[in-house]
Amino acid sequence: MEENKKLPTDIKSIIDDPLNNIFISVATPWEIVIKIKSRKLKVPKNFAEFIMNGVFKVLPIQINHVIGVRKLPLYHKDPFDRMLIAQAKVENLTLITSDEKILKYKVDVLKY
Q: Which domains does the chain have, with CATH numbers?
A: 9-111 (3.40.50.1010)
Give the model confidence (pLDDT) of 38-73 as tens digits: 999 888 888 888 788 877 899 999 999 999 999 999
With a cut of 70, say whether residue 1 has pLDDT above it: no
Residue 18 identity (one-letter amino acid) = P
109-111 vs 95-97, strand pairing mode: parallel
Q: What is the pLDDT of residue 3?
A: 67
Note the pTM of the prediction, 2 decimals.
Answer: 0.89
Distance of CA 107 to the CA centre of its chain: 13
Among residues 74, 46, 75, 80, which one has the least CA distance to residue 61?
Answer: 80
